[in-house]
Amino acid sequence: MEAEMMNLVSLLAIPAAAGAAYGGVKAGLNGTRETLAQMERIVSRLDEKVDTHGERISRTEVEIAHLKSRTRD
């Protein structure tokens, strides 16, 4: 009887370990998902800043070209 009980307990340990592993993986994936969302927000903000900066550079280049053409005349 005691051997059967130990056998039953050992068989119950397998699903418990699998459940714990699943919980750990799920928590890790949730953390990864949150990290990726944060990275996506950061990249989006940087992209907007680069676009704005590129527009300012383009405007400045046009103004410089305009001033150069006026000084040549």
**pLDDT reading at 11 higher than 90:** no
pLDDT at position 35:
93
Structure-block tokens of residue 13: 């340990």
Token pair, residue 15, equals 């699903």
| Tokens linked to 7 | 């056998």
| The model's pTM | 0.53
Q: What does the pLDDT read at residue 1?
A: 63
The answer to whether residue 48 scores a pLDDT higher than 80 is: yes
Coil, strand or helix: which one is 33?
helix
